[in-house]
Copies of this chain bind each other. A is one copy, B any other.
Amino acid sequence: MPDQAATSKPQPKRKPPSSGNRRNPHTHKAVIKAALELLKTVHYPALTIESIAAAAGVGKATVYRWWPSKGALVAEAISSTLTVEDPPDTDDLRADLIAAAEISIRNYAYPSSGVLITALAADLAEDPELLQSFVSTFVQPRRALVRKLLQRAIDEGVIAPDVDPDLIMDMWAGAVMYRRALNHTPIGNTFAEELVEVFLSGAPAHKLGKSP
């Protein structure tokens, strides 16, 4: 359903699924979904709670009841869109690393036409607790998986042993976020490969699937 960002268009709600003395999961989902939908056409700073409530067919007070701020709402919303993907673990270590980098690109370049995570992070900076919560629920689990893969690459001598896996991840995600935010260089199809290649440049070629 494209273009549903109207301001006061009344939604002919068929039937309010339920409302009682328990948290209504339909309401909850409707808010999250409306937020994600609006973010396809509206930049994060211009997104308002009121428009979310209206688009979800929900009272504004209900939104405030369950989320303390726009940042908290959007943090949950985008967390829900991105699943934890296991980076592959095959014989082709180079391909595995590229796949892991591609996950980074997908996560930090979401949605394809925006700088959502950048804007969100900047906004959450006002609320350290909320930022911490977002990082530990959204960022850290995904990093853990990639860290394991990188550690394996280091153990096998494909990546230099004195390199910190966390630094590599910061550089991967950071480069994506940076290019997205400043929009000075497009992120091409081979970007993941480029990101990985940098760390492999000093590695013995026979360990990798690349010709000398």
**Which chain B residues border A131 with CB–CB below 8 Å?**
182-183
B185 near A171 with CB under 8 A, answer: no
CA distance A135 to B178 in the complex (A): 12
The secondary-structure label for the interface of chain A is helix
B118 near A121 with CB under 8 A, answer: yes
A interface, size bucket: 35 or more
A181 partner, pick from B45, B121, B195, B203, beta carbons under 8 A: B121
A182 near B122 with CB under 8 A, answer: no
A101 to chain B, nearest CB (A): 12
B160 near A170 with CB under 8 A, answer: no
Q: Mark A130-169, 1 if CB is under 8 A from B, else 0.
A: 0110010001100000000000000000001011101110
A194 near B182 with CB under 8 A, answer: no
A122 near B126 with CB under 8 A, answer: no
| CB of A50 within 8 Å of the partner chain | no
**Which chain B residues border A181 with CB–CB below 8 Å?**
118, 121-122, 125, 177
CA distance A194 to B166 in the complex (A): 11
A167 partner, pick from B46, B128, B160, B194, beta carbons under 8 A: B194
* Minimum-distance CB pairs A-B, first 5: A202-B202, A174-B174, A174-B178, A119-B122, A160-B201
Given contacts A44-B122, A162-B201, A174-B178, 4 further A-B contacts (CB under 8 A): A125-B181, A135-B184, A139-B182, A163-B201
Binding site for B on A (CB under 8 A): 43-46, 114-115, 118-119, 121-123, 125-126, 128, 131-132, 135, 139-140, 160, 162-164, 166-168, 170-171, 173-179, 181-185, 194-195, 197-199, 201-203
